[in-house]
Amino acid sequence: MSADKLSKHFDVTLSRTPVKITPRLTWLGEIPRKLDFENLQSFGIKDGETAVDMVPDDSALVYRSEKGLVVITGCSHAGICNIVEYAKIVCNEDRVVDVIGGFHLMNPVPKQLEGTIQYLGSLGLEKIHACHCTDLKSKIALASVVNIEEVGVGLELNWS
């Protein structure tokens, strides 16, 4: 749906840069791709053929809790570690307590999975909530470095 059509029903703000929604909630805008083990795959299809599309408009939300950041993702096409790293920069905060959402780890190449495990393991996260587009093999591997909790319909998480 176009922004014109949406704006007839909602207030629409389009931005490639971060937008502070509330004092504690920030939309990240376009995520810089800095880590070389992520964002290795294009997702484009045009007229039934594969086309280059690195999905630059995939974004995420960040909640500032008293303990640190909670990063809330969609599909993480930019790479879950790129997203977390950018959230830390945008929010000027190194403490990350949870990452919730899709980690874009469906049959990842070994370089991507190993880099993700090393990066997330270095953060001192309390836990993660990996869901869609994160395969079982990746969840098991992540569980070796961080507490991974189940995600499902009706899940409520409270962060102060």
Task: Render pLDDT for 105-117 as a digit per residue (tens, 0 to 9).
Answer: 988 999 999 999 9
Give the mean pLDDT of 4-12.
Answer: 84
User: Minimal CA–CA distance to 31: which of 51, 17, 43, 42?
Assistant: 17
pTM, whole model, 2 decimals? Answer: 0.89
Residue 128 has pLDDT above 80, yes or no: yes
Question: What b/e sequence results for 91-112 when a residue is b if at least 16 CB atoms lie within 10 Å of its CB, and e otherwise?
Answer: beeebbbbbbbbbbbeebeeeb
Domain range summary for the chain, segments of one domain joined by +: 18-142
CATH placement of domain 18-142: 3.60.15.10
pLDDT tens per residue across span 9-67: 888 888 899 999 999 999 999 999 999 998 766 666 667 777 665 677 789 999 999 99
